[in-house]
Structure 1
Amino acid sequence: MRKISFTLLLWCPALLYAQQPVQYVRPIIGTEKMGHTYPGATVPFGMVQLSPDTDTIPYELDGKYNPDVYKYCAGYQYTDNTITGFSHTHFSGTGHSDLGDFLIMPTTGPLQLNPGTADHPENGYRSRFSHANETAEAGYYKVKLDDHNITAELTATNRVGFHQYTFPAAGDAHIILDLVAGIYNYGNKNVWTFVRVENDTLVTGYRQTNGWARTRTLYFAMTFSKPIKKYGHRNYANDVYKGFWRKFNQSENFPEMAGRQIRAWFDFDTKAGEQVKVKFALSPVSTEGAQNNLAAEIPGWDFDAVKRQSQDAWNKELSKVAVQTIRPDDLINFYTALYHTYLSPTTYMDADGAYRGLDQLNRRAEGFTNYSTFSLWDTYRALHPLFNILQPQRNADMVRSMLEHYNQSVHKMLPVWSHQGNENWCMIGYHSVSVIADAIMKGNVKGYDAMQALEACANTARYKPYDGLEWYMQLGYVPEDKNGSSVSKTLEYAYDDWCIAQVAKKLGREDLYNEFIKRSLNYRNVFDPTTGFMRPRLSDGQFRKEFDVLSTHGQGYIEGNAWNYSLYVPQYPADMIAMMGGKKQFTGHLDSLFTMHLPDAFFAETEDITREGIIGNYVHGNEPAHHAAYLYNWTDAPWKTQERIRMILPKMYKPTADGLGGNDDCGQMSAWYLFSTLGFYPVCPGSTEYALGSPAVRSASIRLENGKTFSLETIDQSEQNVYVKKVVLNGKTLNRPFIQHEDIMNGGKITFYMSRKPAK
């Protein structure tokens, strides 16, 4: 396994407060194996993610699913040694593929319009590269394309990607625009593409796709720093031009190119060391919108100035938390995690607020930023709760974006997994409810009506056609013989229902409170006291006889097994513990979760879990048990929470390319790291309570949007002193391992007294 190493200047923790946190960000972390992050250039929550793609993987081979597609959810794998080009849209850390729009590749020599292969890049436009000649920073990416001897540099603003290509002394310089390429069902997802050469430096067009998002249209405006000498295209869906309407050659120097699979090229006269720059703007609405975004965000051609602007934006957001760490590597882990949490959700509107709605109508966001890319089954757990502390205004806009989605939905449902004007219906639950409830309960109601949001939550939870909800509402659980993943769905629906009840109570809606607080107890209906686990139940009321507590397939769970999901009652942990035999027995159950040995068959049956993401039977690489280590706080052994957290952190997060123990999932894995490193965690979003753990920093200062500062310090901190002897909040010793949201937002100071021995 190849590793990457980082060199730091002489490290002194006290200096961090005066330094630029962007220097500690390593976007390369998570690009190897399962992290599925991308190393390219973007800005916080930016609509453009300009990043290299390292292979072209068809979704199907011989009519069957190609498992290699899973590796390229972000388009880049660190172990690859060729680059096919630089595309403008990428997911960060997902377990599903899409995007990869508008791939650009600079080349020299004879024109080649196919990408070639990793084994023989010389047969196409791709190029070999070396990590020794690669730089990845927040807002900036640089690499040498060895086969073409071209240095490629990338930076970005919110809606514009900025390329700078330094060419060698070569006779032919080409820039290829590949509209066939895409991360998902390579080429075949295109419904239509169009390219128009407006003049000798400006090109516009669009791409319509039917991939994971079924009806997605994205427009672009591309402008070059010097005039085009010659241009042309090839339509790979209809390569032979026949018929009476093809009266002349439309493949070269013809200003309009249309087809399902277009690759276009643009030739330039260049000298040795000459730089050709490309500005590439996106719009969800029109080519005119893309041109306006281009003019608004990068009117000039100063690449270095735009890079500084991008990195200044990152420094502004990253500096909201200043930390002093135990080890230098922890600074890299911390600020890269914070960087990853600010990659999603993404802006989805033009500079003037225009965007394409879920109903495929052009709309305008008035008074808020419209966001997309909501991986809610993942991010409701820690990412959005983190935003309620660090990014409350953005999170309020995200809630507003969800409510607009609801208003545009023919189903009248909040988003489940949505991006770029589409609902993907991926994963389970209706966790927009959790995000909205968490914001309302924590007082983050800015720009939307809380009562209307409550009604949207309730209506979403009553939509019977959705994923077993009719059975859930009728029986009090989802029956496995009627709807798969039934236990997971029952548990997650019950939690979301509890969130609705809390908001209803806060807003004085007793009718809704009574309806949903009753539903929030439905987890009891799938608990089998004879086994001590949550177990799939059938529509006749019987538990299913075939039951394997270790298997992740066909047992009523999704991305987890009975051991992990039986711990998922975040709204009533004390009741869950009582059901499972009381505090002593439950503590033993948790101990076994972290220490048991899994058989090889466990890993053989699933593609998205690796040994790197598992500790015992605790699956950190997937989300359902992310709160599990904190459950000791509801037993007589909270010191075991402290021990587990400090054990998980270095195992699952490292400053290397393979440093994430699972998909980052649009920032959820990184948000877990940040909360846990700071010493507290939102076990149950929708409540205002955080469970305490063991902070892994010497000190931290959180600068809040309300102008206040919440500070954290540790006494006797070290790698060995992982236990908490005492916690003092604003001068008062805490008598329980919990703090409230208002304790943070009111500002103040929390002090952890650390020890090598547990305080039993």
Structure 2
Amino acid sequence: MSLAGNAHAAPVAVQATGDSAYAAVDPFIGTGGEGHTFPGAVVPFGMIQLSPDTQIKSRKEGYDWAAGYRYEDTTITGFSHTHFSGTGHSDLGDVLVMPIAGEVRLERGEAGKPGSGYMSRFSHDDEVAQPGYYAVTLQDYGIRAELTASARVGVHRYRFPQGKPAHVLVDLRTSMYDYPGKVQWSRLRLREDGTVTGFRETRGWAPGRQLYFAMRFSHAPQGHQFHDTEQDVAYKGFPPPGEKDPRQRAQIEGRQLVGAFDFADADFAGGQRELLVKVAISPVSEDSAIANLDAEMPDWDFDRVRADAKAQWSQALAAVDVDAPADDRRRFYTALYHTFMGPSLFMDSDGRYRGPDNAVHQAKGYTNYSTFSLWDTYRALHPLLTLVQPAQRNNDFINSLIASRQQSPYGVLPVWSFHGLETWCMIGYHAVPVIADAYMKGIRGYDADAALEAMVASASYGPYDGIAQYMQLGYVPIDEEGEAASKTLEYAFDDWTIARMAQAMGRDEVAAAFEKRAGNWKHAFDPGTGFMRARLRDGAFREPFDPDASGYGSDYTEGNAWQYSWYVPQDVAGLAAAHGGEDKLIARLDQVFDAKVDPAVFEHMEDITGLIGWYAHGNEPSHHVAYLYAYAGQPWRTQERLGQIMASQYAARPDGLAGNDDLGQMSAWYVFTALGFYPVTPASNQYVIGRPFLPRATLNLPNGKHFTVVAEGLDDAHPYIGKAMLNGKPLTRAYLRHEEIMAGGELHFSMQAQPDRQWASDGGERPYSMSR
């Protein structure tokens, strides 16, 4: 069994690279603007994400606080132990802890009103964020707070000021995307040995989510108080002895629980007033949380945990060695850092976890993961992880997907799942290309027959999002299912990846059936307008039609016709033919990028950001579009467009991401593009060459080999590829094969001031299309 969170020995040279990369990471990038990332403590793919929450907003106001932290804010509410990185929707924020000096207040209070509650002001001048470590001074209390983490345990170190009583508040009422009634039930218990345990069940993005925790203090509390602040409860039963006194309760259950623990001056040795708090979480039980605590943090050595977290991050970041100016390294390594946030570990130290059926299961022979943001991450994040993470990690992801399907009440692979539970968020069955891409690359440490069975079952589950109609008609009808054009297009791509894997497995009947379905994109194409459109059941396109229009539940998912009409990654040559030839395809691409678009047209669509014309880099449907020029014989135009995107959509500052990072997809796009290539079509085993943005970068591959990309003469005045050499031989095609990268070697670009319109322009040098 692989154990997520454990650092493994690395060669000295690679470790040195990792230490340098570690220092380049800026966790504050993405915490402002649209990025929705958090700056707190986490290890690669860890189950704990211990981070400050600046404000807890209601569900209707909470979009900008999806990660709990907003760089523009000036107050901290507390430190909670679970967070998403970069999502556009949210949940989590479990087990919020806040140290207090002086009077105990049980309510959060209001930002901008000091003393109105337990939240505190802070300044970025007093704030530090590094991979696996976070520190800040809570100005209203004079408390220095430090955070670090292992895979399942968050560790706090607080230094209290002299002269004021010290307390630690634990609030089980708060959540990201909060609303009344979200906590269905919870418990706080102080055990005889001083361990605090508890749980809560919430109904939110994932209904019925259960989370358990265990907490210990480095000094025994001298007193405590437990409260249920829920109002208007008609009947609570008969109280046990001492129940009327919150300081005598050893246990409390309810829906709005908060506790406070008191620490006497005599407990702090040497007048340092330092208190450590360690918190483990579990999806299974309070006793399992205690076992996780004992397994990962048996002592009180905060600095050891911090050093171990740094070692894990140094090793992970050493997957790529970049020689570039400081700002480029900062952007690159922060992006790489964000790609290791998810999927996240989701099992206890004994291998047990809670599945989509909300039952407890045992992972046998693999490490279980959850938090699969698949509509986003199948595009670039998962393909990147096949290059920068061990095969075992990728096998664990796929085994987790297969197990989830086997335990699902619906018998399908995850769509968008976290903490083991399905949210049914977004569209498609995009676990399918994740599995197919890995299989085609030779990552096969799982039952391939079970995987293919799960893929076919997910693609054939009629009740899901119009699949029954899709199988009958070859498209999803808009008069029966919303966002029908997008669903037809995405299902067709997913079907193509099933065909690819089935063919490689010798399952010809399955391959033929799904290859036919892969052509269903043609049912959405309207030759009269040149756009992908939604059809009615009777076969007519829905009228009236406005390609500029967008809206939730419209013909398209988080986009409009300008953005979705390019989603045929399995057959770009076929798309060009449908347009009337490559020249017309390029002319339409230019219309997308060169249009004068007022961003106000999308002010009702918070997900559509990062506009260059109609191109919207802040959302995933546009991510492959700039690379499509290469399919039409003009890779130099791809090079131009990528320059526009990189210059305008990424910056080394808190608001430096043009859109939600979406569990690493925005960052994975940056990593690939900076290296000089991108996986437009997962499961094709090809990466389309764009242009390099780094003078030199080396992939330290999981098989022990090294693939180096050199950009000779690269600077702002020389952005075009003049010549490409692969292992000393001319490369005249616009793509790399996966096996060429994994074999190691060198890709050498000679950069020049003017475009070479002949390089990779011949028809035989184009990337894969199923109809070519």
Match of 1:84 among 42, 55, 77: 77
Pairing 1:236–2:229 present:
yes
Write the distance in 1 (CA, Å) between the matches of 2:245 and 2:408: 42
CA distances 1:338-378 after superposition (whole Å, capped 9, x unpaired): 00000111000011211111122211111111000000000
Write the distance in 2 (CA, Å) between the matches of 1:382 and 1:334: 15
CA distances 1:132-154 after superposition (whole Å, capped 9, x unpaired): 11111110000000001101100
Pairing 1:245–2:239 present:
yes
Write the distance in 2 (CA, Å) between the matches of 1:310 and 1:654: 26
Q: Is the 8 A contact 1:547 1:555 kept in 2?
A: no
Q: Tell me the SS of whatever aligns to 1:122.
A: coil
- 1:481 is aligned to 479
Pairing 1:387–2:380 present:
no
CA distances 1:166-186 after superposition (whole Å, capped 9, x unpaired): 000133111000000111224
Write the distance in 1 (CA, Å) between the matches of 2:498 and 2:236: 61
- 1:512 is aligned to 510
- 2:464 is aligned to 466
> CA 1:19–1:399 in structure 2 vs 1: closer, same or farther (change >3 Å)?
closer
> CA 1:600–1:278 in structure 2 vs 1: closer, same or farther (change >3 Å)?
closer
- 1:8 is aligned to none
Q: Is the 8 A contact 1:201 1:226 kept in 2?
A: no
Pairing 1:689–2:682 present:
no
Match of 1:114 among 107, 112, 118: 107
Match of 1:224 among 217, 224, 228: 217
Q: Tell me the SS of whatever aligns to 2:215.
A: strand
Write the distance in 2 (CA, Å) between the matches of 1:484 and 1:117: 40
Q: Which amino acid aligns with 1:88?
A: H
CA distances 1:111-141 after superposition (whole Å, capped 9, x unpaired): 1000000021311000000111111111000
TM-score, length basis structure 1: 0.95
Q: Tell me the SS of whatever aligns to 1:697.
A: coil
- 2:373 is aligned to 375
In structure 1, list runs of 5 or more residues that go unmatched: 1-13, 60-65
Match of 2:256 among 252, 255, 261: 261
* Aligned ranges 1:523-538 → 2 under 5 Å: 523-538=521-536
How many angstroms does 1:254 deviate by?
1.7
Pairing 1:633–2:627 present:
no
Q: Which amino acid aligns with 1:109?
A: G
Pairing 1:658–2:692 present:
no
Q: Is the 8 A contact 2:48 2:154 kept in 1?
A: yes
Structure 1 runs of 4+ aligned residues shifted over 4 Å read: 14-19, 238-244
- 1:103 is aligned to 96
- 2:768 is aligned to none
Q: Is the 8 A contact 2:319 2:388 kept in 1?
A: yes
Write the distance in 1 (CA, Å) between the matches of 2:311 and 2:179: 36
CA distances 1:540-568 after superposition (whole Å, capped 9, x unpaired): 11111211111112641011111111110
> CA 1:584–1:242 in structure 2 vs 1: closer, same or farther (change >3 Å)?
closer
- 1:5 is aligned to none
How many angstroms does 1:599 deviate by?
3.3
Question: How many percent of aligned residue pairs carry the same amino acid?
Answer: 50
- 2:282 is aligned to 283
TM-score, length basis structure 2: 0.93
* Aligned ranges 1:637-716 → 2 under 5 Å: 637-716=634-713
How many angstroms does 1:649 deviate by?
1.1
- 2:406 is aligned to 407
Match of 1:347 among 328, 345, 348: 345
* Aligned ranges 1:51-450 → 2 under 5 Å: 51-59=51-59, 66=60, 68-186=61-179, 188-199=181-192, 201-238=194-231, 244-245=238-239, 248=242, 249-270=244-265, 273-325=272-324, 327-391=325-389, 392-446=391-445, 448-450=446-448
How many angstroms does 1:16 deviate by?
8.1
Write the distance in 2 (CA, Å) between the matches of 1:178 and 1:605: 34
How many angstroms does 1:321 deviate by?
0.6
How many angstroms does 1:636 deviate by?
2.5
- 1:4 is aligned to none
Q: Tell me the SS of whatever aligns to 1:343.
A: coil
Q: Tell me the SS of whatever aligns to 2:703.
A: coil
- 1:736 is aligned to 733
Q: Which amino acid aligns with 2:164?
A: G
Write the distance in 2 (CA, Å) between the matches of 1:54 and 1:435: 35
CA distances 1:402-445 after superposition (whole Å, capped 9, x unpaired): 00001001221000001112100000000000100001111111
- 1:9 is aligned to none
How many angstroms does 1:455 deviate by?
1.4
Write the distance in 1 (CA, Å) between the matches of 2:334 and 2:405: 33
- 1:11 is aligned to none
Q: Which amino acid aligns with 1:170?
A: G
Write the distance in 1 (CA, Å) between the matches of 2:163 and 2:254: 32
- 2:762 is aligned to none
How many angstroms does 1:47 deviate by?
0.2
Q: Which amino acid aligns with 1:174?
A: H
How many angstroms does 1:332 deviate by?
0.5
CA distances 1:186-238 after superposition (whole Å, capped 9, x unpaired): 45211111111113531111111111110111111100000101001110124
Q: Is the 8 A contact 1:193 1:208 kept in 2?
A: yes
Q: Is the 8 A contact 1:187 1:261 kept in 2?
A: no
Q: Which amino acid aligns with 2:500?
A: Q
- 1:24 is aligned to 24
How many angstroms does 1:395 deviate by?
1.4
Q: Tell me the SS of whatever aligns to 1:276.
A: strand
Q: Is the 8 A contact 1:201 1:225 kept in 2?
A: no
CA distances 1:298-346 after superposition (whole Å, capped 9, x unpaired): 1111111211110111000001110111x31010000000000001110
- Does 371-380 or 747-756 show the bigger shift? 747-756
Q: Tell me the SS of whatever aligns to 1:282.
A: strand
How many angstroms does 1:97 deviate by?
1.2
Q: Which amino acid aligns with 1:268?
A: F
Q: Which amino acid aligns with 1:564?
A: Q
- 2:749 is aligned to 752
Write the distance in 2 (CA, Å) between the matches of 1:244 and 1:732: 83
In structure 2, list runs of 5 or more residues that go unmatched: 1-13, 758-772
Q: Which amino acid aligns with 2:330?
A: I
Write the distance in 1 (CA, Å) between the matches of 2:355 and 2:237: 39
Q: Is the 8 A contact 1:31 1:37 kept in 2?
A: yes
> CA 1:227–1:402 in structure 2 vs 1: closer, same or farther (change >3 Å)?
same
> CA 1:323–1:76 in structure 2 vs 1: closer, same or farther (change >3 Å)?
same
> CA 1:304–1:444 in structure 2 vs 1: closer, same or farther (change >3 Å)?
same
How many angstroms does 1:17 deviate by?
4.2
Write the distance in 1 (CA, Å) between the matches of 2:236 and 2:292: 39
